[in-house]
A and B are shown apart, each in its own frame.
Chain A
Amino acid sequence: MRPFTLERPHDIATAVAFGAADDDQTDYIAGGTDMMQLLTDDIRRPGRLVSLGDGVLDDRIEAAPDGALRLGAAARMSDVADHPAVREGFPLIAEALLSSASAQVRNMATVGGNLLQRTRCAYFRDPGVHGCNKRAPGTGCAARDGVNRMLAVLGGSEHCIATHASDFAVPLVALDAVVRLSGPGGERTIPVEELHRLPGDSPHVETVLVPGELITAIEVPASRAARTSHYLKVRDRESFEFALVSAAVALDTDGGRIREARVAMGGVGPKPWRMRGVERALAGAACDPAVLRAAAARAADGTAPRPGNAFKPELMRRTVLRALRVVGGQP
């Protein structure tokens, strides 16, 4: 671990200023459940580590009268998962959080940090591997022709096929959640779906955040569909493991007809992937087995698997279908 200076600001402006001054030297740490790994594995080598743990970010969990959620970026995953407004109004969010990591990690990790965790691609995580464009731009991608079972089938490029590992982000994208940002240029709000960039030819740039910009809150709009929803995660072991594929599904039905469908998947791309083709096939249709099956068949549209993850498209269709059946009451 490279020696670094730990800064412990008490307000957002100071925290932002550190990052804005020298983008390459500064990293932020909140819950630390990912950053500590990145530091000890020598993946990140900041000269300055800015702690967001001294009241810089709030950890409030608030539900508006209309049901909309506001999560302070420093709210702990476990607290959000346990909050009645989340459990009742947004079961898919609670389920995504509870299927993440371990109880110990969830007690430490913040929801803002969860969105900014780095990929679990094993080639990225091992500094002894030369070829990783995300860790060392221009060195190539060892994963593309390597062991890539866990990696992306959507949105990858010849330079990187890393997946975004967050479960929590998947329902957020399905529900059109936004993140509130505070940075050197002031405050702005962007959809979670637009937070992460596709790798293209610069996979080391993972988000649209500018240096010094921080996520201060996550806002989830009120959603009738979210009340009947499910997060389904397929993984190799029952706990403490990332998704092979996962699906967040929310359906608003009225008299057997689907008024609105929201579907997103995790474990398949460099960012949570909204399944708009599936949603279109469901919107306005009857909630019956044939419709669900036809819609789920669209889940793998546009996938470009590698030999190591060639099973994912079929597993994606099956996973979405199962989640639709659970939510649609058609088991």
Chain B
Amino acid sequence: MTSTAAASVVGQPVSRVDGPLKVAGGATYAAEFDPGPGLCHGAIVTSTVASGRIASIDTAAAEAAPGVVAVLTHRNAPVLPYHEHKGLTDPPEGERIHLLQDDRVRHQGQPVALAVAETLEEAVYAASLVRVSYRPESAVTAFSDAVAHAVPPGPRYRDRGLEGDGGRGDADAALGAAPVRIEAEYVMPRLNHNPIEPHGTVARWSEGELTLWDKTQWVDNVRAEMAAVFGLPPDRVRVVSPFVGGAFGSGLRPWANVTLAAMASRHVDRPVKVVLTRRQMFGITGYRPRSTHRVALGADRDGQLLAIRHEGVSETSTYETYAEEQLGSSEYLYACRDVATRYRVAPRNVQTPNDMRGPGKVTGVHALECAMDELAAALDMDPVELRLRNDTIVDQSTGVPFSSRSLRECYQAAGERFGWSRRNPRPGAMRDERGRLVGYGCASATWPAMRQAAEARARLLPDGSAVVSSSSSDMGPGTYTSMTQVAAETLGLPLERVRFELGDTRMPTAPVHGGSWTMASLGSAVQAACAEARRRALAEIGRADADLAAVLRQIGEPVEATVRTEPGDELRRYSAHSFGAVFAEVAVDPDLCTVRVPRLVGAYGVGRVVNPKTARSQITGGMVMGMGMALTERTEVDPRDARPVNSSLADYLVPVNADVGELDAVFVDEEDPHVNPLGVKGLGEIGTVGVAAAICNAVYHATGRRVRELPVTVERVLGAAVR
């Protein structure tokens, strides 16, 4: 039976359906689209002060340069409506920068001019000839100064459920009474998005309609934003984005390249391409904000948590408030009666941060899980045992049960694979064959299982094939593949007879491709649309058990269904989160203090796994990102002028292959009947959560030294050694 064979497609390690296209160079990325004749190129001129006014801007030399079509500045750029628009991924507080609309500079790297020329080289040269002088104004440049004036996230964040203060009971009193207490401060630097593909846009106007080929995780939001900026009905804007060369959250908001390309294209009446340089990626796109966390834990002598107090502050810009839920996990991850959380944002003259893989959780869980390790040491207790002792089946922040929770199973599975039982509990007691200090560390991971409304269309063709579409994105997790699997299974068609399409505002509306909710949200819609299309096809011939391909041939014309699905109240009745446990082995040179990570092992309870192959790839990729956070990555922001200093891939160090040892990721069997029709909880982000903490905890185990500021560099291990 065809349907039986196809039904086993979900859960199979199917290779990426778009893989051959990508490796053969056949996938067309945003900046590679050919918009037709007349394409010209835009190069952005950026500010070199953190705050102030443009005193003068001289474009004469640039305008006279060869090939130049136009030079746009705030003096000659079209005045744009810039209607209010705040998508789900835009900060609800504050207002975005209106590009080239006035003389105000609010951060280093802000676009102040765009040179448009026949070739990229001519545009870049012309941009270098634009002379700008500034009247600097007072600015908050140092994070420490910003922290002194930190504020709660604000009322609109409260409306979204993000409070500045949270918790339950009386944490201070419980801490005071706890027989065992630890308190420590953890510092996490700014981390910049560095996907392989920089942000880029090709814009073309035709009879008042704007078409944008853009790198984005959310074509519909780019359309909404451009409609608002240019004062257009949304149906006059089309956004196309079939392939994304990595995004990790950087594609959640349209950056200056989109608006400037559209603005310039209308101005010169030709298609215009604008691609950010790598340096501009550090000044124009968002980033994971710098943060400082203070955690106090109290426990009884058996390791039962009695109190958690967790305070955090992270940087934001002066013109928008970017806040993320950094402390929520401290309220639900473990059983604890008395909990207090306090989160503040610190406005600084920088561009607004934005979500980076595992936003909030990556930061907050790092601090909490490092603190748990410190508590385990204070208790002289095994760090895994401490976590298990505080396991809970009820989310104590809301009082409702978890829809599923396999934290214990994750620790067991990963611990066994890792060989945790071989760990000598005494710090500094283990060495490898090269004489390096060996440390084992662990940490919990968690990420909320969320779901959004989504719409998909299934179109069944007379040749027995199907085309399923929705305006989603595939920034790398394998959306093309997993949706094809769900569609094939639901339709009862072989995988190779189903094609999934995404990345076009002309398609049914998908939610933003982020939050680890694409499978839960869009997968449910794809399943529903395919089921409905199949039902219609079979109904036409009045046989519910027939072979669909044969039925379609018999009908002789396409059968189509578009279905919108949305979550019910299940996420009010249950607290739904993915959980995981990650173990790290480090090897530390006792003299040179270099830290290497030979192994990372993680186990995750994520509900149903649609594709173990791409799922594992998601987790191991997330682990590498966590490794970068732990050991090498940080954006150095000069405290004197708030300019990112290491704004290049030579100076901002992402891990290279030589840094990455053995990566092992497994999924524990978990059936979640509550969370959504597919039973999936999401796994795009959880792989990064907890990794840095596991590594820091392993460094402590190897050396007996706590490094509480990331990244764990040579001098931080050395400094602890010298002291």
B344 within 8 A of A: no
Which residues of the partner chain A approach B715 to less than 8 Å between Cβ atoms?
Answer: 149, 311, 315
- CB–CB B48/A130 < 8 A: yes
Interfacial residues of chain A within 114-150, with CB under 8 A of chain B in the complex: 120, 122-123, 125-126, 128-130, 142, 145-147, 149
Please judge, given known A-B contacts A1-B124, A236-B713, A315-B718, whether A120 and B651 are in contact too, CB under 8 Å: yes
Interfacial residues of chain A within 45-96, with CB under 8 A of chain B in the complex: none
Please judge, given known A-B contacts A2-B125, A128-B46, whether A322 and B591 are in contact too, CB under 8 Å: yes
- CB–CB B632/A237 < 8 A: yes
Which residues of the partner chain A approach B592 to less than 8 Å between Cβ atoms?
Answer: 234, 315, 318-319, 322
Which residues of the partner chain A approach B58 to less than 8 Å between Cβ atoms?
Answer: none
Which residues of the partner chain A approach B650 to less than 8 Å between Cβ atoms?
Answer: 37, 120, 125
CA–CA, A103 and B713, complex, Å: 25
A288 within 8 A of B: no
Residues of A within 8 A of B (CB): 1-3, 37, 41-42, 120, 122-123, 125-126, 128-130, 142, 145-147, 149, 234, 236-241, 244, 311, 314-315, 318-319, 321-322, 331
- CB–CB A122/B658 < 8 A: no
CA–CA, A244 and B653, complex, Å: 13
Chain B 475-502 near chain A by CB (<8 Å), digits 1 or 0: 0000000000000000000000000000
CA–CA, A8 and B663, complex, Å: 49
B378 within 8 A of A: no
Contact of A311 among B108, B640, B647, B718 (CB under 8 A): B718
In the complex, the chain B residue whose C-beta lies closest to that of A238 is B658
- CB–CB A240/B718 < 8 A: no
Interfacial residues of chain B within 650-680, with CB under 8 A of chain A in the complex: 650-651, 653, 655-659
CA–CA, A169 and B46, complex, Å: 37
- CB–CB B646/A122 < 8 A: yes
CA–CA, A123 and B643, complex, Å: 10
CA–CA, A146 and B126, complex, Å: 30
Which residues of the partner chain B approach A123 to less than 8 Å between Cβ atoms?
Answer: 645
Main SS at interface, chain A: loop
How far apart are B592's CB and chain A's nearest CB, in angstroms?
5
B80 within 8 A of A: no
Q: How many A-B residue pairs have CB under 8 A?
A: 93
Which residues of the partner chain A approach B636 to less than 8 Å between Cβ atoms?
Answer: 122, 147
How far apart are A257's CB and chain B's nearest CB, in angstroms?
25
In the complex, the chain B residue whose C-beta lies closest to that of A142 is B638
Please judge, given known A-B contacts A1-B121, A42-B128, whether A241 and B643 are in contact too, CB under 8 Å: no
Which residues of the partner chain A approach B591 to less than 8 Å between Cβ atoms?
Answer: 318, 321-322
How far apart are B1's CB and chain A's nearest CB, in angstroms?
52
CA–CA, A190 and B722, complex, Å: 41
CA–CA, A290 and B596, complex, Å: 29
Residues of B within 8 A of A (CB): 46, 48, 66, 108-109, 121, 124-125, 128, 279, 435, 591-594, 596, 631-632, 636, 638, 640, 643, 645-648, 650-651, 653, 655-659, 713-715, 718-719, 722
Which residues of the partner chain A approach B632 to less than 8 Å between Cβ atoms?
Answer: 236-237
Which residues of the partner chain A approach B657 to less than 8 Å between Cβ atoms?
Answer: 239
Which residues of the partner chain B approach A129 to less than 8 Å between Cβ atoms?
Answer: 48, 643
- CB–CB A311/B714 < 8 A: yes
Please judge, given known A-B contacts A128-B46, A129-B643, whether A236 and B653 are in contact too, CB under 8 Å: yes
In the complex, the chain B residue whose C-beta lies closest to that of A244 is B714
In the complex, the chain A residue whose C-beta lies closest to that of B628 is A237
Please judge, given known A-B contacts A147-B646, A311-B719, whether A239 and B640 are in contact too, CB under 8 Å: no
Interface centre among A3, A37, A123, A147 (most CB of B within 10 A): A147
- CB–CB B125/A146 < 8 A: no
- CB–CB B659/A239 < 8 A: yes
In the complex, the chain B residue whose C-beta lies closest to that of A45 is B128
Contact of A126 among B647, B658, B659 (CB under 8 A): B647
Which residues of the partner chain B approach A125 to less than 8 Å between Cβ atoms?
Answer: 648, 650-651
Ordered by A's residue number, 21 sampled pairs between the chains whose C-beta atoms are within 8 Å are A1-B128, A2-B125, A3-B121, A122-B636, A122-B646, A122-B647, A122-B651, A125-B650, A126-B643, A126-B647, A128-B279, A146-B638, A147-B636, A234-B714, A236-B653, A237-B655, A237-B656, A237-B658, A311-B715, A314-B718, A315-B592
Please judge, given known A-B contacts A125-B648, A322-B592, whether A236 and B128 are in contact too, CB under 8 Å: no
CA–CA, A244 and B593, complex, Å: 12
CA–CA, A1 and B129, complex, Å: 10
CA–CA, A7 and B435, complex, Å: 54
In the complex, the chain A residue whose C-beta lies closest to that of B129 is A2
CA–CA, A3 and B659, complex, Å: 39
Please judge, given known A-B contacts A42-B128, A120-B650, whether A238 and B659 are in contact too, CB under 8 Å: yes
CA–CA, A156 and B719, complex, Å: 24
Which residues of the partner chain A approach B722 to less than 8 Å between Cβ atoms?
Answer: 314
CA–CA, A238 and B657, complex, Å: 9
- CB–CB A146/B66 < 8 A: no
Contact of A128 among B125, B643, B658 (CB under 8 A): B643
Which residues of the partner chain A approach B596 to less than 8 Å between Cβ atoms?
Answer: 238
CA–CA, A237 and B648, complex, Å: 15
In the complex, the chain B residue whose C-beta lies closest to that of A312 is B715
In the complex, the chain A residue whose C-beta lies closest to that of B657 is A239
- CB–CB B66/A3 < 8 A: yes
Which residues of the partner chain A approach B124 to less than 8 Å between Cβ atoms?
Answer: 1
How far apart are B671's CB and chain A's nearest CB, in angstroms?
41
CA–CA, A154 and B582, complex, Å: 43
- CB–CB A237/B653 < 8 A: yes
- CB–CB B594/A234 < 8 A: yes
Which residues of the partner chain B approach A239 to less than 8 Å between Cβ atoms?
Answer: 656-659
Which residues of the partner chain A approach B593 to less than 8 Å between Cβ atoms?
Answer: 315
In the complex, the chain B residue whose C-beta lies closest to that of A146 is B638
- CB–CB B714/A315 < 8 A: yes
Which residues of the partner chain B approach A2 to less than 8 Å between Cβ atoms?
Answer: 125, 128
CA–CA, A14 and B596, complex, Å: 50
How far apart are A305's CB and chain B's nearest CB, in angstroms?
11
CA–CA, A126 and B637, complex, Å: 13
Which residues of the partner chain A approach B718 to less than 8 Å between Cβ atoms?
Answer: 311, 314-315, 318
- CB–CB A3/B125 < 8 A: yes
- CB–CB B658/A146 < 8 A: no
Which residues of the partner chain B approach A319 to less than 8 Å between Cβ atoms?
Answer: 592
Interface centre among A126, A239, A244 (most CB of B within 10 A): A126
CA–CA, A3 and B122, complex, Å: 8
How far apart are A143's CB and chain B's nearest CB, in angstroms?
9
- CB–CB A236/B651 < 8 A: no
How far apart are B142's CB and chain A's nearest CB, in angstroms?
12
How far apart are A166's CB and chain B's nearest CB, in angstroms?
15
CA–CA, A314 and B714, complex, Å: 11
- CB–CB A147/B638 < 8 A: yes
CA–CA, A238 and B661, complex, Å: 11
Closest 6 CB pairs of A and B: A311-B715, A238-B658, A239-B658, A147-B645, A147-B636, A128-B48
Which residues of the partner chain B approach A41 to less than 8 Å between Cβ atoms?
Answer: 279
CA–CA, A316 and B426, complex, Å: 30
CA–CA, A321 and B589, complex, Å: 13
In the complex, the chain B residue whose C-beta lies closest to that of A148 is B645
How far apart are B409's CB and chain A's nearest CB, in angstroms?
34
CA–CA, A123 and B640, complex, Å: 13
- CB–CB A126/B279 < 8 A: yes
CA–CA, A118 and B636, complex, Å: 21
CA–CA, A148 and B75, complex, Å: 38
